[in-house]
Structure 1
Amino acid sequence: MVSVLFVCLGNICRSPMAEAIFRAKVKEENLDGVIEVDSAGTGDWHVGKKPHEGTLAILRENNIKSDGLLARQFHGEDKKYDYIVAMDASNEQNMKKILDSDHHGKVFKLLDMVEESREKDVPDPYFTGNFQEVYDLVESGCSLLLEKIKKDNHLKEGNTYGKQ
């Protein structure tokens, strides 16, 4: 099983959006039995809460399910994930402070996947209110991340081999 964790600040806007989008892409390629997806926040303000209404609305508009999304905090045990995907540089740094240096190589920013992007950090719509911009950036990054994971783990649509 390949595991992916998306991380933002409060786990109510960007990272649950990425989790839902990525799950939909994984399911679309019949890889949901091979790739596990979760999200977390580096802060603890929203633990146990559902995603922000703006996140839920943009997911509904794009017919992406948001069932079961509840905020949780990132912790040291999350080093078990194969891919730890930060929404911005600040959260990337915060995670590296929590993880021992042996696991720093697993942590990278989502928009590192999108070479042509002018943005290198996914803006926080909690402050900007621009959920459409965030959706577009996250959707693009998730598509490229899935291609990377498929390549890294020798996965093809619907198969069950690779890293188990």
Structure 2
Amino acid sequence: MSLRILFVCMGNICRSPTAEGILRDKLAAAGLAEAVELDSAGTGDWHRGKAPDSRAIQAAAGRGYDISGLRARQVTAEDFQRFDLILAMDHDNLAWLEQLRPEGGAVPELFLARQGLAVDEVPDPYYGGAAGFERVLDLLEAACAGLVAEVAARHGR
């Protein structure tokens, strides 16, 4: 049975699609692509149907990740039944998810805190420069490596 993971940020154009792209690539490299169903979404609906921010696409491509084909969507109550792990990028989005969560639905978590990183939030790079997108990539690559190890352990690898 596959593990179903949803990454969530505010607009689904910077952090969460980057996390989806990184994890998809790392799982494929580990031979675990079929073991996980991945998606990303935003707590807001401003960018629904749009591609990731061009700066996020460029920064990800600089490290070999193609996120250009992803499209933004908003989190729904049904996502709490569909996904096993709902991983928020920061405290604000976690609080929003906790309010939306239906009884018996998956309990959202902070992605970085779950992976035991020294910081617990992925900063939103939207209003900053290129360095912010590189910082996001650093944090997400580290956290995704932990998720790959977790998936590998579930599958006896």
- With normalisation by structure 1, the TM-score equals 0.87
Contact residue 113 and residue 145 of structure 1 kept, 8 A: no
**How far apart, CA to CA, are the structure 1 residues paired with 2:85 and 2:110?**
10
- Aligned residue in 2 for 1:99: 101
What secondary structure sits across from 2:38 in the alignment? Answer: strand
**How far apart, CA to CA, are the structure 1 residues paired with 2:20 and 2:69?**
11
After superposing on structure 2, the runs of 4+ consecutive aligned residues of structure 1 that deviate more than 6 Å are: none
- Aligned residue in 2 for 1:23: 24
TM-aligned CA distance change 1:94 to 1:116, over 3 Å: closer
| Number of equivalent positions | 153
Report percent identity of matched pairs.
Answer: 37
Structure 2 spans left out of the alignment, 5+ residues? none
- Aligned residue in 2 for 1:110: 111
Supply the RMSD in Å over aligned alpha carbons.
1.5
**How far apart, CA to CA, are the structure 1 residues paired with 2:28 and 2:156?**
13
**How far apart, CA to CA, are the structure 2 residues paired with 1:21 and 1:36?**
13
- Aligned residue in 2 for 1:73: 74
Structure 1 spans left out of the alignment, 5+ residues? 158-164
Contact residue 51 and residue 68 of structure 2 kept, 8 A: no
**How far apart, CA to CA, are the structure 1 residues paired with 2:128 and 2:94?**
20
- Aligned residue in 2 for 1:47: 48
Instruction: Give, in angstroms, the shift of residue 121 of structure 1.
Output: 0.9
**How far apart, CA to CA, are the structure 1 residues paired with 2:49 and 2:117?**
36
- With normalisation by structure 2, the TM-score equals 0.91
- Aligned residue in 1 for 2:3: 2
TM-aligned CA distance change 1:116 to 1:3, over 3 Å: closer
